[in-house]
Chains A and B, each alone.
Chain A
Amino acid sequence: MRRLLWPAVILAVLLLVNVFFTANFFSIQMRDGHLYGSLIDILRFGAPLILVSLGMTLVIATGGIDLSVGSVVAISGALACLQISQDAGVFTAVVLALGLSVLLGAWNGLLVAVVGIQPIIATLILMVAGRGLAQLITGGQIITINSPSYKIIGGGYWLTVPFGILLVAVVLAITVFLTRRLALGMLIESVGGNAEASRLAGIRSRGIIIMVYAFAALCAGVAGLMISSNVSSADGNNAGLWVELDAILAVVIGGTSLSGGRFSLGGTVLGALIIQTLTTTIYSIGVPPETTLLFKALVVTAVCLIQSKSFREKVFGRRRRAVPPSPAAEEKVRVTA
């Protein structure tokens, strides 16, 4: 739980900053029969990122990384919109898109676990080729569709709550159940700790690795459906562009180490929310577009530094210890230094 403290504090600070600029930032109203407010927006636009980051967390926990999720987002949205524009049912379109996503993820997993290519290279292949595939599906066009039932996935509401948020809640619940109530989470952490030792201990590392990549791609596929459904169109070029980097960042902010092993799903969700809140903050406090990236970089750097235990000890710890001039404390500092 303590690991979640700093991400939660940072998120709270970011949200509070907004109140200074937008007085009614925390107000949530009912409008046209659904919830309406900045906080709802952050959850709704953050939903795809949370999903992608959840998948990314498990991949990173096995010591891997998946750069191809952004392309899978584009492919899944493109395929679904193409199907719907050709008068296929929404259900068929969604099943086909998610099926293709899982296949692509399994392909990544095969390259990593069976062929033995380094994860960053193996998924780089699909990252580059996948954009091309998405454009092939859309024919380089933006496919605009008009399907009220498809629209629900990313832009609709169910019982006044945005459907995307519910979808994320369900996926999160399933993931938490599978990894924390069953042994799966421990197996993933053990593969991340040492794949070879896990195999010798009787864990089917290969199967686990293929499964987490397929899961990451499935999450990305659902995110792709959400993004394309939110604007009722598929954009092979821009959908999910750079989302893999945001997702990796969310995982890191959430306190999961990139070297694999232990992971924190709650931290990842907080990390993704921090990133989305930061984006919303930039829009609402009116940071000029020319300096947006710099602003983001500075905040993220600060966030990562605050997260780091050794940094906190160096900066804050010494000062605190220096205030009460006790010889024993000074002794200790000298020893650790």
Chain B
Amino acid sequence: MLKRISALMLAGLTAMAVGGCGGSGGGGAASGGGAITMGFSQVGAESGWRTANTKSVQDSAKSAGITLKFSDAQQKQENQIKAIRSYIQQKVDVIAFSPVVESGWDTVLKEAKNAKIPVILTDRAVDSKDTTLYKTFLGSDFVEEGKKAGKWLVDEYKDSKDPVNIVELQGTTGSAPANDRKSGFQEVIGADPKFKIVASQTGDFTRAKGKEVMEAFLKSTPDIDVLYAHNDDMGLGAIEAIEGAGKVPGKDIKIITVDAVKDGMQALSDGKINYIVECSPLLGPQLMDLAKKVVKNETVPTRVITEETAFNQEQAKAALPNRQY
């Protein structure tokens, strides 16, 4: 009996789910004439940065009068591909997404192109050879961020002749920010042989992993002068590991991170981090402008860079009270 009831319930749920899909699909097609409908596939909510990014996109869509269909891929490429396919089926006017990893997008982007739906990449790039697959890429220049981090380091140690041992906490392996922040940083510090990256591992952009990897580094590499973390959260995790080892973060080990989220800025103004390169998540307004342009078939530059800066400890103290995210 129970089995039969649960089977009935399951059937009911499935029917509802199918009904739901059909309904929203119809809505998307109907709105094709008037207001713009945008399908946006977010990476996930892995960090405070990402949450601020999501909020910026949602808020500016509302104020720009654009209907937003939002989906969270929970860090999985297959979820993003599924989301993009469903946007194509729903016939949205424009698709925007932040790719989880750089490669493997050609097929689904071709499907979008065949359906004549323009695609805007936000925040992260794809490595497709065929650049006609998307209209434009709006986001930070991660190589430049890595270079900024490297320049500060070179400047900080310009009077010293001793070797500088650096450990690096990379972002998710294969993701654009991890690849580019690494290469930009290496390009700048590579000019001087005294800078040496003695250990480099992925911390998956999370605090827990950042802490775990840093704990291992502290034991396997006794002499660490500088930590370069590809985002604030890994840096914050690593700070706990450094404190646990009886060292003072910011003094015994200098710390450079990227992003400038609120928790990171707090640590920076507390003197636990030495330098943060900003990577602004507030690209919603720029995204909506671009979306309106590509829907009207106006030409847009293939690369749009978000406005960004960098903070040292004094600047962080000044900027912290106004930090939104």
> Is A135 positioned at the interface, with any CB of B under 8 Å from its CB?
yes
What are 18 contact pairs spanning A and B, CB under 8 A?
A37-B219, A38-B220, A41-B216, A41-B219, A117-B6, A141-B48, A142-B233, A155-B240, A230-B208, A233-B207, A238-B75, A238-B208, A239-B208, A283-B201, A283-B212, A283-B216, A284-B220, A286-B200
A45: chain B residues at CB < 8 Å are 212, 215
Contact, CB under 8 Å: A227 / B208: yes
Chain A residues with CB under 8 A of B74? 131, 237
Question: For chain A residues 1-57, which have a beta carbon within 8 Å of chain B?
Answer: 21-22, 24-25, 31-32, 36-38, 41, 45
Contacts of A286 in B (CB 8 A): 199-201, 220
Q: How far is the CB of A150 from the nearest CB of chain B, in Å?
A: 14
Question: B54 at the A/B interface (Cβ < 8 Å)?
Answer: yes
Given contacts A283-B213, A284-B220, 14 further A-B pairs with CB under 8 A are A140-B72, A142-B233, A144-B263, A235-B206, A235-B207, A235-B208, A238-B46, A238-B209, A283-B212, A283-B216, A286-B199, A286-B201, A289-B170, A292-B173
How does the 8 Å CB contact mask read for A229-258 relative to B, with 1 for contact and 0 for none?
011110111110000000000000000000
| Residues of B with C-beta under 8 A to A233 | 207
A-chain residues with CB within 8 Å of residue B220 when the two chains form the complex:
21-22, 38, 283-286
Q: Give, as a whole number of angstroms, the nearest-CB distance from B205 to chain A.
A: 9
Given contacts A115-B2, A289-B170, contact A25 B206 (CB under 8 A): no
B269 to chain A, nearest CB (A): 16
Please indicate the chain B residues that have their CB under 8 angstroms from the CB of A288 in the complex.
Answer: 200
**Given A231-B237, A290-B173, A280–B216 Cβ distance below 8 Å?**
yes
**Max chain A C-beta neighbours (<10 A), residue from B47, B74, B237:** B74
The answer to whether the Cβ of B204 comes within 8 Å of any Cβ in the partner chain is: yes
Query: Are A36's CB and B245's CB within 8 A?
Result: yes
Residue of B nearest to A144 (CB): B263
How far does the alpha carbon of A292 sit from the alpha carbon of B204 in the complex, in Å? 13
* B135 part of interface (Cβ distance < 8 Å): no
Question: Which of B44, B245, B263 has a CB less than 8 Å from the CB of A237?
Answer: B44
Which of B47, B202, B236 meets A292, CB within 8 Å?
A: B202
- Bound together, the chains give a CA A286 to CA B246 distance in angstroms of 24
Contact of B211 among A140, A230, A236 (CB under 8 A): A230
With A289-B170, A292-B202 as contacts: A140 and B208 at CB distance below 8 Å = no
Task: State the B residues within 8 Å of A (CB).
Answer: 2-3, 6, 44-48, 51, 54, 72, 74-75, 170, 173-174, 199-202, 204, 206-209, 211-213, 215-217, 219-220, 233, 236-237, 240, 244-246, 263
Return chain B residues, CB-CB under 8 Å to A284: 216-217, 219-220
B3 closest partner in A (C-beta): A116
Asked if A142 contacts B216 (CB within 8 A), the reply is: no
By a CB distance below 8 angstroms, the chain A residues around B170 are: 289
Evaluate contact between B3 and A237: CB separation under 8 angstroms.
Answer: no
Number of residues from A at the complex interface, CB < 8 A: 43
Name the CB-closest residue of A to B212. A45
B-side interface mostly: helix
Query: Which A positions have Cβ atoms within 8 angstroms of B?
Result: 21-22, 24-25, 31-32, 36-38, 41, 45, 114-117, 131, 135, 140-142, 144, 155, 227, 230-233, 235-239, 279-280, 282-286, 288-290, 292
Q: Report how many A-B pairs have Cβ atoms within 8 Å.
A: 104
Q: Which of A233, A279, A292 neighbours the largest number of chain B CB atoms within 10 Å of its CB?
A: A233
Chain A residue numbers with a CB within 8 Å of B202 are 289, 292
Are B219 and A289 touching (Cβ within 8 A)? no
List the B side residues contacting A238 at CB < 8 Å.
46, 75, 204, 206, 208-209
A114 contacts B48, C-beta separation under 8 Å = no
Q: Please give, as numbers and ranges, the residues of chain B lying within 8 Å of A41 by CB-CB distance.
A: 215-216, 219
Q: Which residues of A contact B211 (CB under 8 A)?
A: 230-231
- In chain A, what residue has the closest Cβ to B44? A237
Bound Cα distance A281, B204 (Å): 17
User: Which residues of B sit under 8 angstroms from A141, Cβ to Cβ?
Assistant: 45, 48, 51
> Quick one: which of A114, A235, A238 has the most chain B CB within 10 A?
A238
Q: A117 to B45, alpha carbons, bound, how many Å?
A: 32
Cα–Cα, bound, A227→B206 (Å):
12
Q: In the complex, are the beta carbons of A283 and B173 less than 8 A apart? A: no
In whole angstroms, how far apart are the Cα atoms of A328 and B302 in the complex? 78
Q: Which residues from B are CB-within-8-Å of A279?
A: 212
What is the bound-complex CA distance between A31 and B72, given in angstroms?
43
- The minimal Cβ–Cβ distance linking A199 to chain B, given in whole angstroms, is 17
Question: How far does the Cβ of A151 sit from chain B's closest Cβ, in whole Å?
Answer: 9
Contacts of B216 in A (CB 8 A): 38, 41, 280, 283-284
Task: Given A21-B220, A41-B219, A235-B207, verify A142-B47 contact (CB < 8 Å).
Answer: yes
Question: Bound complex: CA of A67 vs CA of B174, how far in Å?
Answer: 27
Residues of A within 8 A of B75 (CB): 237-238
Choose among B47, B51, B233, B246 the residue that contacts A32 (Cβ–Cβ < 8 A): B246
Given known A115-B6, A144-B263, A286-B199, contact A38–B207 (CB-CB < 8 A): no
**CB neighbours of A239 from chain B (8 A):** 208
B104 to chain A, nearest CB (A): 15
Residue of B211, B236, B244 with most partner-chain A CB within 10 A = B244
| Contact partner, A283, options B3, B44, B217, B237, Cβ 8 Å | B217
Are B200 and A289 within 8 A (Cβ)?
yes
Complex alpha-carbon distance, A31 and B45, angstroms? 36
Q: Are B240 and A231 in contact (CB under 8 A)?
A: yes
Q: How far is the CB of A287 from chain B (nearest CB, A)?
A: 8
| B304, chain A: closest CB distance, angstroms | 26
